[in-house]
Amino acid sequence: MNGGTVLKASEVSGVGGVERPVSFKPKPDPAAKPMQPNHRPRGRKVLLAAGGLALAAAAATGTIGWTHARQFGTSRDASSRGLVTREAPTPVRTVPVALAGETSLRLPGVLRSQKETPLAFRLTGQVVSRDIAAGTRVVAGAMLFRLDDRELRRSFAAAQANRVAAGAQAENAVREAGRREELTRHGVSAVETTERSTTEAQAAVQRLRAAEADEQRAALALAHATLTAPAAGVVTEILAEAGQVVTAGQQVASLAHAGPREAEVYIPESRLAGLPTAALVTLHGEQKPRMAQLREVAAAADPATRAYRARYVIDGLASDTPVGSSLALTLTADAGAFLRVPTSAVAETGSAEPVNDFETCFWLV
């Protein structure tokens, strides 16, 4: 049956309480006595068995019809004239009732890279060059931005000079300590003087190590003045321009790594329980859907939409596919104890009659 409404079995059965009375109208008996005027026949109220099995059994052996409970053909004028009239039969349209089978949910989403890195400098400075643009494909180690490094170069030169000076002092102190030891063995120099020379030599060696560390730190800072790509991928966003002063850690660009592509969607709270691990993804501009597997679901809901972010890895998609394009993700799940009935059997729409004159029911026919 095409179209219709999916009802949960508990809504039409005795399981968990009956939310909507369900009435059944037996087949009219031609031998029955005529009905009295203004008597509105109604089918007896019957509670379905647990899980909606009774309703499904009725669908297997017969059909279910639906109509408004208001009857036609009753005339008070005819009754006042002493005439006995028979109410006109109510027309009924019937359809089989069956299990709903599978239900699907279609969600909009965005194509993402499995790894996305926000890029930033490790120090504060002024941007003097930007060598990439949004959408540029880069390889690992490619230069992206460069800061003004004049002060850093001076600091590096000073660190080099300090290291050279410390090395010379350490070398001289070590030689002096050696001479003092030789003189002490011959009894020419005092032991105290030799010990002092040895201590000064050790201190000079440690100062040399500190100078070497300062030189390495200055060299590293000079290298950090150039921002390079940590991996191959595509630049998705530019947040800084030449001439701008940026601070350490301030994001200046975003890089989508080359590799698996994923569909990012937001799952409604009501569909989070029993979320399928497999889904179908249809990319923008494509007709044939692709299979996707669930990789992760956010532990906390988005504060604005109260939906949960989920990532599905798309099978068979090239690692260099552009990210950011729109897509549609379809989730399919077993409907379980749900029955499919026409919408007009449970909802009153488009009627010109007063709503209070109608009662929508199921009738056993």
Alpha-carbon span 331 to 279, nearest angstrom: 5
Q: Evaluate if residue 222 carries a pLDDT over 90.
A: yes
71/57 Cα distance (integer angstroms): 28
| Domain 104-114+259-333, CATH class in plain words | mainly beta
Q: For the chain, what is the mean pLDDT?
A: 77
Helices 150-185/191-224 angle, 10° precision = 160
* CATH annotation of 149-224: 1.10.287
* DSSP assignment letter at 91: P
Distance (Å, whole) CA 341 – CA 55: 11
Q: Which residue has the higher pLDDT, 249 or 339?
A: 249
Sign of the alpha-carbon dihedral angle for 165, 166, 167, 172:
positive
pLDDT at 365: 55
Look at 252 and 274; give whichever has higher pLDDT: 252
> CA end-to-end span of the chain, whole Å?
18
Domain boundaries, the chain: 5-101+340-364, 104-114+259-333, 149-224
| Separation of alpha carbons 229 and 119, rounded Å | 8
Beta-strand ranges (E) seen in the chain are 5-8, 64-68, 93-95, 98-99, 102-113, 116-120, 125-130, 137-138, 143-147, 226-228, 233-238, 245-246, 251-257, 261-267, 278-283, 290-297, 308-314, 326-334, 338-341, 360-364
- Please indicate whether residue 13 or residue 120 has the higher confidence score (pLDDT): 120
Least confident of 97-111, 153-167, 281-295: 97-111
Q: For the segment 144-159, what is each residue's pLDDT rounded down to a tens digit?
A: 999 999 999 999 999 9
- Give yes or no for a contact between 120 and 101, defined as CB atoms under 8 angstroms apart: no
Question: Are the beta carbons of 28 and 364 closer than 8 angstroms?
Answer: no
Query: Looking at the predicted structure, is the pLDDT value of residue 37 above 50?
Result: no
Coil, helix or strand at residue 164: helix
pLDDT tens-place string over residues 110-137: 999 999 999 999 999 999 999 999 999 9
Rg of the chain in Å (alpha carbons): 42
Q: Find the mean pLDDT for residues 213-232.
A: 96
25 falls in which pLDDT band (50, 70, 90)? very low
